[in-house]
């Protein structure tokens, strides 16, 4: 337990990359190897945790906030960060993809600053970059486009009419996170506004994982080609002229397995009391907090890890008190 002083009592906010466990920085790997506690999101590769988190470290699963619930699970995550850090532990807060792209990092930063807890922010490969690379779609290919936009349309009303006009007109490549369930809505809005026919759509399911599957289609053919299809989560949408480069440069065969790389969990109604919020050694939480993803969200749990599920107010308190008892065997 003779760790260098500077690694104690600190929070590392680190990106785990989009799925392929090798798509992670050396820096994040080093911190995982040194960690006392890893607070991990759902979309983090089990293989990554298994490979780099030492047996002595605790892995704590923290789900995302349920939009329908009155509870505020983010507060629980904040509390856990503070609690562990004030015990002098090196805490790695691991988030899928990059830490800052469509994540709750701001809340966590406010909390850390408020409690004067030192932290570092280590970037990760965000899903847009992972998916486009593994599909052979250069997002800003010269001669095709000069820019890329990272967007979400997780609910059908997050984009205004005026902005749809703009999105239909721009030559920028559009990447939509958390939007596979609103895909019909996206296509309809762009087609209604006469988006150019040479801008195509790609949707990458479980991108960069061994179960990656990429579909591409003309937006004007979408009704026939992809409409009604249920995409395996997580999935990301790319729209633009660059999409057809896939036909030339794709380098990974599609997986036709419909398996989930990130294990799906049973979803229960938020109001039902589920467990006491505490799970041990690979138990699957029955009460899944809805995610930062609108799709039925696969969740990955480390097989040998102890898990604290943090989802409701009173449970949050228990989780903070009881997490001490949760450790890897």
Annotated catalytic residues are 41, 64
**Residue number, 83 or 293, with CB nearest to ligand SAH:** 293
Burial of 79 (0-12, 13-18, 19+ CB in 10 A): middle
Stretch that binds ligand SAH, among 50-58, 201-209, 265-273, 281-289 (CB under 6 A): 201-209
Does 172 participate in binding ligand SAH (rule CB under 6 A)?
no
Burial of 329 (0-12, 13-18, 19+ CB in 10 A): exposed
Going from the C-alpha of 82 to that of each of 11, 37, 87, 184, 203, the distances in angstroms are 9, 12, 9, 42, 38
**Residue number, 43 or 82, with CB nearest to ligand SAH:** 43
Stretch that binds ligand SAH, among 76-84, 181-189, 193-201, 231-239 (CB under 6 A): 231-239
Sign of CA dihedral 134, 103, 268, 229: negative
* The binder of ligand SAH chosen from 46, 208, 309, 315 (CB under 6 A): 208
Q: Are strands 90-95 and 173-177 parallel, antiparallel or unpaired?
A: unpaired
**Residue number, 234 or 240, with CB nearest to ligand SAH:** 234
Does 235 participate in binding ligand SAH (rule CB under 6 A)?
yes
How far does the chain reach from its first CA to its final CA, in angstroms? 17
Site for ligand SAH in 24-43 (CB under 6 A): 43
By beta-carbon distance, which residue lies closest to ligand SAH? Answer: 97
User: What whole-number distance in Å separates Cα of residue 95 and Cα of residue 248?
Assistant: 32
Does 206 participate in binding ligand SAH (rule CB under 6 A)?
yes
User: What whole-number distance in Å separates Cα of residue 238 and Cα of residue 271?
Assistant: 36
Does 239 participate in binding ligand SAH (rule CB under 6 A)?
no
Does 18 participate in binding ligand SAH (rule CB under 6 A)?
yes
Does 177 participate in binding ligand SAH (rule CB under 6 A)?
yes
Site for ligand SAH in 75-134 (CB under 6 A): 95-98, 101-103, 126-127, 131
Does 74 participate in binding ligand SAH (rule CB under 6 A)?
no
Q: Interhelix angle for 73-86 vs 105-114, to 10°?
A: 40
Does 277 participate in binding ligand SAH (rule CB under 6 A)?
no
**Residue number, 65 or 315, with CB nearest to ligand SAH:** 65
H/E element, 111: helix 105-114
Per the listing, tokens 């179960």 go with 211
- Would you tell me which residues interact with ligand SAH (CB under 6 A)? 18-19, 43, 95-98, 101-103, 126-127, 131, 177-178, 204, 206-209, 234-236, 292-293
């Amino acid at each position: 337990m003779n760790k260098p002083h500077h690694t104690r009592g600190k929070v590392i906010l680190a990106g785990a990359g989009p799925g392929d466990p090798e798509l992670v920085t050396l820096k994040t790997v080093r911190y995982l190897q040194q960690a006392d506690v890893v607070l991990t999101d759902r979309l983090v590769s089990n293989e990554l945790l298994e490979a780099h988190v030492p047996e002595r470290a605790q892995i704590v699963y923290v789900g995302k906030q349920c939009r329908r619930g009155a509870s505020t699970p983010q507060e629980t995550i904040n509390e856990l960060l503070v609690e562990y850090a004030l015990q002098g532990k090196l805490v790695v807060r691991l988030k899928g993809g990059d830490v800052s792209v469509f994540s709750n990092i701001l809340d966590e930063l406010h909390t850390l600053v408020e409690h004067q807890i030192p932290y570092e922010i280590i970037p990760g490969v965000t899903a847009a970059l992972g998916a486009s690379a593994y599909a052979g779609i250069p997002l800003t290919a010269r001669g095709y486009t000069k820019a890329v936009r990272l967007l979400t349309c997780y609910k059908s009303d997050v984009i205004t009419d005026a902005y749809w006009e703009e999105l239909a007109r721009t030559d920028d490549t559009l990447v939509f996170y958390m939007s596979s369930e609103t895909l019909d809505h996206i296509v309809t809005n762009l087609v209604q506004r006469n988006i150019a026919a040479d801008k195509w759509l790609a949707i990458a399911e479980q991108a960069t994982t061994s179960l990656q599957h990429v579909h591409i289609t003309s937006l004007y053919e979408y009704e026939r080609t992809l409409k009604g299809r249920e995409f395996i989560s997580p999935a990301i949408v790319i729209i633009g002229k660059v999409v057809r480069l896939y036909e030339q440069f794709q380098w990974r065969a599609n997986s036709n397995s419909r398996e989930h790389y990130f294990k799906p969990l049973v979803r229960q109604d938020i109001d039902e009391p589920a467990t006491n919020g505490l799970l041990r050694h690979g138990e699957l939480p029955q009460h899944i907090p809805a995610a930062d993803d609108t799709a039925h969200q696969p969740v990955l749990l480390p097989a040998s890890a102890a898990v604290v599920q943090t989802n409701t107010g009173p449970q949050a308190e228990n989780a903070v008190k009881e997490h001490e008892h949760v450790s890897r065997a």
